[in-house]
A = this chain, B = another copy of it.
Amino acid sequence: MLKNPHVAVLGVTGAVGQELLAILEERKFPFASLKMLASARSAGRDMQFMDRTYKIEEATPDSFKGIDLVFAGGSISKALASHAVKAGAVVVDNTSAFRMDPEVPLVIPEINPGDIAKHKGIIANPNCSTIIALVPLWPIHKVAKIKRIIAATYQAASGAGAKAMEELKLQTQDFLAGRPVKKEVLPHQIAFNVFSHNSKIGADGYNEEEVKMVKETKKIFHDDAIQITATCVRVPVLRAHSEALYVETEKPLSPDEARELLAKAPGVKVIDDREKNYFPMPLETTGQDDIWVGRLRVDPTVKNGLAMFVSGDQIRKGAATNAVQIAEILLKQQ
């Protein structure tokens, strides 16, 4: 790819699209031109970015002429990605549409950057809960081989988009004022409540978010034998996800050894102060790119058991940052 590509951002008005622009600026991502694409609803609106005013254009199959790189998100991505590829662009896709396609690499740059080169036009960005669990688990897996992962998530409203974040704020205000609470985006009240993740539930009782964690982990780790089970839960937090993780490893690994590994691992920050009772919290990982990990301790109920608690910004490393990191590697490779 050109060192200075013509870039399109598809779904630019969403929470991830907006963060993506901020990260392109922060990381000084090189681009010859930038095209802002969204559904018909947002087309025609102005958008400010780096001292310029862009006109948002309606995304159509013909939007990608002359475009080298597309950051794709939103429900329109599934229908349009193939048109972008036909027009000669590489698509870094933030949706779940292509993740399990065997032709599409699913990449966390800290883990499997080598998969990027195998792309045939589309590279998929993993689910946010998957990324936030796997960035800190990978250094452990490399050294001690994880056989089984048990996860319970504490997922922010942001995972359901900018409107869900607004809904959390509005519901909170209404609840505190004793007014009836309106539910328009999420199926249940999120203010002062927690509920099982709002994705569809399959015949086995697992919701789609949990199934994504299971399938994506095997693909990203290139390890079909790894066992994973998850319980995905929404909590009244605005935009960073947290997870309680239990792993069982083939080789023993002490919490001290894990802490040492993780302290050196890219994309990870160890926050594990038992004396001050200070561990990863979504309020503090909001706006950060690192996944924070702490509460590292032995799980004594199983052979080679290790427990931990992780937190990471769902919109940044869980989506936009990871996509931009993939694109940075693409630029270097070609």
Contacts and interface: CB of A to CB of B under 8 A. Distances in A.
Interface string A81-117: 0000000000000000000000000000000000000
A61 B201 CA distance: 57
Contacts of A302: 148, 227
Chain A, interface SS category: mixed
Interface string A166-209: 00110011001000000000011100111110101100111100
Nearest to A227: B301
Interface in A287-322: 294-302, 305, 307, 309
A89 to B, nearest CB: 37
A246 interface: yes
A295 B192 contact: no
Interface stretch (A29-37, A49-57, A123-131, A232-240): A232-240
A193 B233 contact: no
B172 A301 contact: no
A150 B246 contact: yes
A166 B274 CA distance: 27
A17 interface: no
A246 B237 CA distance: 24
Contact of A235 (B235, B238, B300): B235
A281 interface: yes
A265 interface: no
Interface in A256-309: 274-275, 277, 279, 281-283, 294-302, 305, 307, 309
24 contacts: A148-B301, A152-B231, A154-B233, A169-B176, A173-B176, A187-B277, A193-B237, A194-B235, A194-B281, A195-B279, A196-B294, A205-B296, A205-B297, A205-B298, A206-B297, A227-B300, A227-B301, A228-B301, A229-B300, A231-B307, A233-B242, A233-B244, A233-B309, A236-B237
Interface of A: 148, 150, 152, 154, 168-169, 172-173, 176, 187-189, 192-196, 198, 200-201, 204-207, 227-229, 231, 233, 235-238, 242, 244, 246, 255, 274-275, 277, 279, 281-283, 294-302, 305, 307, 309
